């Protein structure tokens, strides 16, 4: 028998911890901390689930493996006054590429190439490029009952505070997360004009009635500051009093009694291998996994939900045999193009770890202006503003499968001589990849990273779509006004024209190309990092499904999943907005189901009293 539950918490002593309600849970042989719900993962989806449940009056424990990030989330590593690098829209590239940040705020997943998986309060919402891009109606035809476009659109809108539109059937105003335009640059404006000159339709709202076309993105930025869902739902002044957040807490497994989840086991601290005690917390109602498309299937497998032969191999008792846990991993790869340019009105500035800018006086002044609230500072922009969506001959269905994003700078690492005045980088993504990979346990130790096999470009159609897109971009680049700004094609290089050479360029990633006189490289494709599908939702009779249409893990009770892993098919664009929608939808389902159970119990009690 499991011990009786009694909540006992000791408040942390720092001001940031007190403001956030961070605490250490005390345990002994007879006491466990207990909550209505436990949410594993404090990323965008988990923050929304926890925040909405807290607003409904439930007690919620959020366990986040990483540390604090944005200022409003308790972050203290200021680089511009009180502001941390996670608050600065331009800071996302530094977080992803600079080891000073990535070693602490990204998961280590041995893979070639490794996916960029955020580890910290806010999840991908504190290190992504902040693009707000919903799915399209056609995307949800494969999701099943309760997940059609009419079902999900209200939950996209629920979070939205669109800074461009008045409230409409497609846009929300007054929600907790800002969706706004950013200042564009001359290269991006020229790109859109050349797209239109090539015959691509102009599109002034990628989240409007259609997706195809060229135009300008919108971003999760409010007043020049990153507006991540975690800050909106769990930040200072926003977190419900019934929600408690514990950072640096790595969940090792879900605890079951029979096939019912009743709590979790976790360790606290920055070093899970350091011999820290394994702690436990209990959920009166449910455990909700929001750990992401790699760590959620890993945690299910460690907890005994997965492929029985693999679990047996690592000595893990099987709670429910489902070999589909961790399968169907879907993510695209980028084809990268880069040009020298005649210069531009956008300057990339890097942020050092002590504050200020390491580049030049201009950037230092821009950072000071940003910290003072100047939304026109270069740091108030994510460094990207424009893109295009095209439908290749290899698209499935009617929606565009190719996404073009222009960066008016050398995104991939200053690999070129400084004699060039400027750069432009194009990221070409196939948003509907057909290739599928997997996530599996490396061992039975929770602290070991999982095996991740992306199996990128294993379906020939994925490669063909990217090759088609490279050639389309070359046509666009030859048209004014973009033609008058771009100079030499540096990546993959104008001399590379055959399918074989271009595919080599894609598979090598942006830093190793034959056009540079280097030998053929090992395959190091550059993932888009929109990983989805590893715990896909579906009908329980579908052998591919891991969760049902109400996000309940099939075969067990008291356990749900709410993150990108449940997507049966990646959306037609960036995944973050759809993760937010899943969080909103999951929270409402949980609340509705609990209220339905309570009403049923009340009716049953009333019937018994009447009969007696």
Annotated binding site for FAD: 251
Per DSSP, helices labelled H in 174-307 are 186-197, 229-234, 292-302
Residue whose token pair is 């991006």? 188
Mapped onto helix, strand or coil, the DSSP state of residue 337 is strand
Q: Which residues of 481-504 are buried (b: 16+ CB within 10 A; e: fewer)?
A: bbeebbeebbbbbeebeeeeebbb
Using DSSP's 3-state secondary structure scheme, residue 466 falls into helix
How far does the chain reach from its first CA to its final CA, in angstroms?
33
Element (H, E) at 313: helix 308-313
Cα–Cα distance measured from residue 430 to residue 432, given in angstroms and rounded to the nearest whole number? 6
Specify burial of residue 510 (Cβ count, 10 A radius: 0-12, 13-18, 19+).
buried
The pair of three-digit structure tokens given for residue 388, joined into one six-digit string: 């295009």
Residue keyed to tokens 């070409």: 428
CB atoms within 10 A of CB 301: 24
Tokens coding 422: 């400027």
Residues 6+ apart with CB under 8 A from 366: 349, 357, 377, 378, 379
**Closest of 513, 522, 476 to residue 493, by C-alpha:** 513
Which parts of 119-275 are beta strand (E)? 160-162, 177-179, 213-216, 221-222, 225-226, 243-246, 249-257, 260-268
What are the strands, taking DSSP E only, across 359-437? 386-390, 402-407, 422-430
Q: What is the torsional sign of CA 74, 75, 76, 78?
A: negative
Angle between helices 460-477 and 499-508 (to 10 degrees): 100
Q: At what angle do helices 576-611 and 44-55 cross, to 10 degrees?
A: 30
Binding-site positions read 251
Handedness of CA 589, 147, 159, 73 (dihedral sign): positive
Q: Residue 483: left (phi > 0), alpha (psi -120 to 50), or beta?
A: alpha
% helix, strand, coil for the chain, step of 5: 30, 25, 50
């Amino acid at each position: 028998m499991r011990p009786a539950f009694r909540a006992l918490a000791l408040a942390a002593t720092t001001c940031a911890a007190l403001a956030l309600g961070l605490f250490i849970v005390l345990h002994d042989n007879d006491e466990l901390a207990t909550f209505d719900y436990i949410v594993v993962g404090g990323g965008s989806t988990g923050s929304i689930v926890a925040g909405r449940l807290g607003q409904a009056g439930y007690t919620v424990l959020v366990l986040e493996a990483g540390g604090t990030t944005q200022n409003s989330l308790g972050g203290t590593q200021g680089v511009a006054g009180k502001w941390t690098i996670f608050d600065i829209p331009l800071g996302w590239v530094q977080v992803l590429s600079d080891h000073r940040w990535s070693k602490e705020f990204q998961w280590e997943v041995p893979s070639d190439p490794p996916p960029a998986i955020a580890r910290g309060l806010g999840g991908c919402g504190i290190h992504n490029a902040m693009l707000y891009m919903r799915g399209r109606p056609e995307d949800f035809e494969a999701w099943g009952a309760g997940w059609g476009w009419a079902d999900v659109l209200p939950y996209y809108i629920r979070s939205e505070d669109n800074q461009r539109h008045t409230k409409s059937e497609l846009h929300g105003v007054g929600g907790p997360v800002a969706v706004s335009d950013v200042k564009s640059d001359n290269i991006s404006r020229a790109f859109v004009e050349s797209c239109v000159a090539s015959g691509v339709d102009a599109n002034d709202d990628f989240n409007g009635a259609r997706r195809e076309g060229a135009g300008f993105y919108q971003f999760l930025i409010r007043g020049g500051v990153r507006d991540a869902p975690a800050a909106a739902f769990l930040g200072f002044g926003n977190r419900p009093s019934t929600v408690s957040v514990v950072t640096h807490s790595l969940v090792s497994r879900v605890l079951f009694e029979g096939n019912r989840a009743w709590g979790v086991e976790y360790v606290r601290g920055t070093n899970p291998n350091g011999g820290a005690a394994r702690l436990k917390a209990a959920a009166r109602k449910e455990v909700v996994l929001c750990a992401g498309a790699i760590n959620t299937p890993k945690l299910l497998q460690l907890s005994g939900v997965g492929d029985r032969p693999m679990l047996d191999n690592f000595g893990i008792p099987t709670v429910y045999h489902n070999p589909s846990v961790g399968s169907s991993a879907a993510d695209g790869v980028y084809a990268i193009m880069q040009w020298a340019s005649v210069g531009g009105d956008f300057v990339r500035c890097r942020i050092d770890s002590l504050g200020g800018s390491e580049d030049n006086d201009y950037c230092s002044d821009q950072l000071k202006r940003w910290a003072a609230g100047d939304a026109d500072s270069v740091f108030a922009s994510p460094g990207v503003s424009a893109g295009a969506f095209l439908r290749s001959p290899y698209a499935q269905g009617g929606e565009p499968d190719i996404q073009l994003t222009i960066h008016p700078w050398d995104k991939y690492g200053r690999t070129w001589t400084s004699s060039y005045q400027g750069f432009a980088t194009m990221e070409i993504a196939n948003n509907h990849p057909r290739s599928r990979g997997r996530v599996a346990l490396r061992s039975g130790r929770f602290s070991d990273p999982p095996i991740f096999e992306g199996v990128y470009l294993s379906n020939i159609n994925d490669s063909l779509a990217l090759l088609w897109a490279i050639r389309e971009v070359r046509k666009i680049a030859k048209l004014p006004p973009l033609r008058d700004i771009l100079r030499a094609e540096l990546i993959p290089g104008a001399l590379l024209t055959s399918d074989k050479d271009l595919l080599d360029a894609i598979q090598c990633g942006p830093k190793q190309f034959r056009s540079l006189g280097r030998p053929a490289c090992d395959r190091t494709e550059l993932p888009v990092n929109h990983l989805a599908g590893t715990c896909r939702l579906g009908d329980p009779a579908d052998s591919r499904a891991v969760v049902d249409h109400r996000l309940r893990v099939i075969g067990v009770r008291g356990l749900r999943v709410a993150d990108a892993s449940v997507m049966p098919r990646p959306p037609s664009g960036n995944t973050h907005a759809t993760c937010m929608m899943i969080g909103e939808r999951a929270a409402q389902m949980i609340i509705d189901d609990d209220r339905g159970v309570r009403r049923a119990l009340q009716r049953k009690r009333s019937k018994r009293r009447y009969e007696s």
